[in-house]
């Protein structure tokens, strides 16, 4: 296959007009020939900047070198040393701000498609039944992990590899955290990819108990005192949605993005074969400009709605991944930028009938360094809609902190934990991922889970 070393090998995607009506994956990934061609663009740098940009430090030139020669088993073996969820990360990591941002090939041409190559390697391994890790010899230590998201799964996997007896307690009926309840099927297939990678963690000897809410079914102290765990890792995420506090927000037809996405992804509310009904909406306004807003908007579109995204800053400031914004536009989602809702309008039965919006302009930079959106007086207007989805960010649920004495949180409700070891303010209790940082990314949660596993092993005196 002829390759222009300056340009990426394009990846196949579902046609936008077709995919706007189905939940199948948008990106179809590379085949072997395309993956080898893209791998051939890597310069195998002596000082590979890409590695420094990866929060878990994957030996990127190492796995790409193997791919170039078609040794996918070896490529998979290299990645697996660093990541338990490579097919997930290859799909959802913001590579453009991490490894690919620093790729030396990107100085004069387009960076190597590291994420797509990682995805190819992991998919190939799955499709060809390649698995590497086996359950380790037991060391007699017992650790409980709270939450089966990327942080909890990674921490549990690392501890099991070191011989600990690990049980994950998960509140929902399925393991995966945001990977199963938040990120939609068209970006991250649930059974094919997430369930498979969760199964790989179980193969290491990890037990997962679902429908088990720590703070209700049992407390953190119960785990330590009554269940005899030597240490506990808290990876409970940041699932508590924020709202704007504007009039009309309690109307029927107003959702948090988390609720809307959970009803669709996890509860299959759109599928007549399930008893869990949902209100998909015909004319939907999504408020926010991050990945969560894009996911909610693209889900509503696939459920048959006309969708508008309302965001208070401009195109440049949209926090969502460029790829997601591009996909949303291609599929026909309307972006109403430099706009902010001031009121949700209700009909006589308490259902949403519209939204009142004010125009914004950008002023001086705020604490985050981004220019502050300022309302333009007298610019208010109304648009009709029957559903409003708020995608304004989330924070950690206070349940665990409020039921565990000695566990400190900061003013945002995030658990206080040492960045390097995951140690919290309570002896034997460790934490990481969104529960500590607030809403962040899959790979950062995985990195925190890995560091905490190391911290736990040191605490337990296991090397």
Ligand X SMILES: Cc1cc2nc3c(=O)[nH]c(=O)nc-3n(C[C@H](O)[C@H](O)[C@H](O)COP(=O)(O)OP(=O)(O)OC[C@H]3O[C@@H](n4cnc5c(N)ncnc54)[C@H](O)[C@@H]3O)c2cc1C
If one asks whether residue 90 binds ligand SF4 (CB under 6 A), the answer comes out as no
SS3 190: helix
Residue 283 neighbours by CB under 8 Å, 6+ apart: 305, 306, 384, 385, 386, 387
Which of ligand SF4, ligand X, none does 3 bind, CB closer than 5 to 8 A by kind? none
Query: How far does CA 269 lie from the centroid of its chain?
Result: 21
Q: CB within 8 A of 291, min separation 6: which ones?
A: 319, 320, 321, 324
d(CA 117, CA 110): 15
Q: What is the size of the binding site for ligand SF4 (CB under 6 A)? A: 15
60 binds, among ligand SF4, ligand X, none (CB under 5 to 8 A by kind): ligand SF4
Closer residue to ligand X in complex, CB, 99/146: 146
Closer to ligand X by CB, 61 or 182: give it.
182
Question: Which residue among 178, 389, 429, 456 contacts ligand X (CB under 6 A)?
Answer: 178
Residue 338 CA to residue 316 CA, distance in Å, equals 11
> Which of these ranges, 48-56, 140-148, 203-211, 224-232, lies near ligand X under the rule CB under 6 A?
140-148
* Site for ligand X contains 266 (CB under 6 A): no
Binds 214: which of ligand SF4, ligand X, none (CB < 5-8 Å by kind): ligand X
Indicate which single residue of 78, 159, 183, 431 sits in contact with ligand X (rule: CB under 6 A).
Answer: 183
User: What does 424 bind: ligand X, ligand SF4, none (CB cut-off 5 to 8 Å by kind)?
Assistant: none
Binding partner at 414 among ligand X, ligand SF4, none, C-beta below 5 to 8 Å by kind: none
Radius of gyration of the chain (CA): 23
Question: With respect to ligand SF4, which residue has the nearer C-beta, 42 or 257?
Answer: 42
60 vs 220, beta carbon nearer ligand SF4: 60
| Closer residue to ligand SF4 (CB): 96 or 221 | 96
- Is residue 75 a contact point for ligand X (CB under 6 A)? no
Cβ proximity of 383 and 409 under 8 Å: no
Position 441 contacts ligand X (CB under 6 A) = yes
- Whole-number Å distance between alpha carbons of 32 and 440: 32
Q: What's the burial of 371, exposed, middle or buried (CB within 10 Å: 0-12/13-18/19+)?
A: middle
Site for ligand X contains 399 (CB under 6 A): yes
| Residues in binding contact with ligand X, number by CB under 6 A | 41
Give the count of alpha carbons within 13 A of 178, CB side only: 30
Binding residue for ligand SF4, selected from 50, 151, 180, 453, defined by CB under 6 A: 50
Sign of dihedral through CA atoms 405, 411, 414, 416? negative
- For the range 75-79, what are the long-range contacts, defined as Cβ-Cβ under 8 Å and sequence gap of 24 or more? 75/121, 76/121, 76/122, 76/124, 76/125, 76/130, 76/132, 77/132, 79/118, 79/121, 79/122
Q: Least distance from C-beta 149 to ligand X, angstroms?
A: 2
Q: Return the residue of 55, 433, 447, 455 that touches ligand X, per CB under 6 A.
A: 433
Among the listed ranges 124-132, 193-201, 297-305, 442-450, the one in contact with ligand X (CB under 6 A) is 442-450
- Nearest Cα to Cα of residue 67 among 112, 110, 11, 97: 112
- Among 12-20, 45-53, 147-155, 393-401, which window interacts with ligand SF4 (CB under 6 A)? 45-53
415 lines the binding site for ligand X (CB under 6 A):
no
Q: Is 303 in the site for ligand SF4 (CB under 6 A)?
A: no
Q: Which of 42, 93, 208, 448 binds ligand SF4 (CB under 6 A)?
A: 42
**What are the helix (H) ranges across 12-128?**
16-19, 32-39, 49-52, 60-68, 72-80, 86-92, 105-108, 114-127
Phi first, then psi: what are they for 178, rounded to 5°?
-60, -25
Q: Among 45, 342, 392, 399, indicate the residue that binds ligand SF4 (CB under 6 A).
A: 45
User: CB of 180: closest distance to ligand X in angstroms?
Assistant: 8
Q: Considering the rule CB under 6 A, would residue 358 count as an interface residue with ligand X?
A: no
Q: DSSP code of 295?
A: H
The one segment of 44-52, 178-186, 338-346, 409-417 that binds ligand SF4 by CB under 6 A = 44-52
Q: Among ligand SF4, ligand X, none, what does residue 50 contact (CB within 5–8 Å per kind)? A: ligand SF4
* Concatenated DSSP letters of 83-98: -S-HHHHHHHS-GGGT
CA dist 303 to 79, 283, 310, 387, 422, Å?
36, 11, 19, 13, 41
Give the span between the Cα atoms of 452 and 2, in whole angstroms. Answer: 45
> Does the protein bind ligand SF4 through residue 103 (CB under 6 A)?
yes
Residue from the set 8, 23, 25, 48 that interacts with ligand SF4 by CB under 6 A: 48
Name the residue with tokens 């009803």: 263
Which residues would be at the binding site for ligand SF4 (CB under 6 A)?
Answer: 42-45, 48-50, 60-61, 64, 103-105, 112, 114
Which residues would be at the binding site for ligand X (CB under 6 A)?
Answer: 92-94, 146-152, 169-172, 177-178, 182-183, 213-215, 235-237, 239, 261, 291-292, 295, 397, 399-400, 433-435, 439-443, 445
């Amino acid at each position: 296959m002829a390759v222009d070393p300056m340009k990426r090998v394009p990846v196949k995607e579902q046609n936008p007009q077709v995919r706007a009506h189905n939940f199948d994956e948008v990106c179809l990934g590379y085949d072997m020939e395309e993956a080898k061609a893209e791998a051939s663009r890597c310069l195998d740098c002596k000082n590979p900047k890409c590695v420094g940009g990866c929060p878990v430090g994957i030996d990127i030139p190492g796995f790409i070198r193997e791919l170039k020669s078609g040794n996918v088993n070896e490529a998979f073996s290299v990645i697996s040393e660093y990541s338990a969820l490579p097919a997930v990360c290859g799909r959802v990591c913001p590579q453009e701000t991490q490894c690919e941002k620093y790729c030396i090939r990107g100085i004069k041409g387009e960076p190597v498609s590291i994420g797509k190559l990682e995805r190819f390697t992991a998919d190939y391994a799955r499709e060809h039944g390649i698995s590497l890790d086996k359950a380790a010899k037991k060391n007699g230590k017992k650790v409980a992990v709270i939450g089966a998201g990327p942080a909890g799964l990674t921490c549990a996997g690392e501890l099991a590899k070191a011989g600990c007896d690990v049980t994950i307690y998960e509140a929902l009926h399925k393991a995966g955290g945001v990977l199963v309840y938040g990120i939609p099927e068209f970006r991250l297939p649930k059974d094919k990819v997430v369930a498979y990678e969760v199964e790989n963690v179980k193969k290491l000897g990890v037990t997962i108990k679902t429908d088990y809410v720590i703070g209700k079914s049992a407390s953190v102290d119960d785990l330590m005192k009554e269940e005899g765990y030597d240490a506990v890792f808290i990876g409970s995420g940041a699932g508590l949605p924020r709202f704007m506090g504007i009039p009309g927000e309690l109307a029927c037809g107003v959702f948090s993005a988390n609720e809307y996405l959970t009803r669709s992804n996890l509860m299959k509310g759109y599928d007549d074969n399930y008893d869990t009904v949902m209100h998909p909406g015909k004319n939907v306004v999504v408020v926010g400009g991050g990945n969560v807003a894009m996911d909610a908007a693209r889900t509503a579109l696939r459920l048959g709605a006309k969708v508008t995204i309302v965001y208070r800053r401009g195109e440049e400031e949209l926090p969502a991944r460029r790829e997601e914004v591009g996909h949303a536009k291609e599929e026909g989602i309307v972006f109403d930028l430099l706009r902010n809702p001031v009121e949700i309008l209700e009909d006589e039965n308490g259902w949403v009938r519209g939204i009142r919006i004010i125009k914004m302009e950008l002023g001086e930079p705020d604490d985050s360094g981004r220019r502050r959106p300022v309302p333009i007086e007298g610019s208010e207007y109304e648009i009709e809609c029957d559903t409003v989805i708020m995608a304004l960010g989330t924070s950690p649920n206070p349940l665990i902190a409020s039921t565990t004495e000695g566990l400190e949180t900061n003013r945002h409700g995030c658990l206080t934990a040492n960045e390097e070891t995951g140690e919290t303010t309570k002896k034997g209790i460790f934490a990481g991922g969104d529960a500590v940082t607030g809403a962040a990314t899959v790979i950062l949660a995985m990195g925190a889970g890995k560091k905490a596993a190391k911290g736990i092993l040191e605490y337990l005196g296991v090397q």
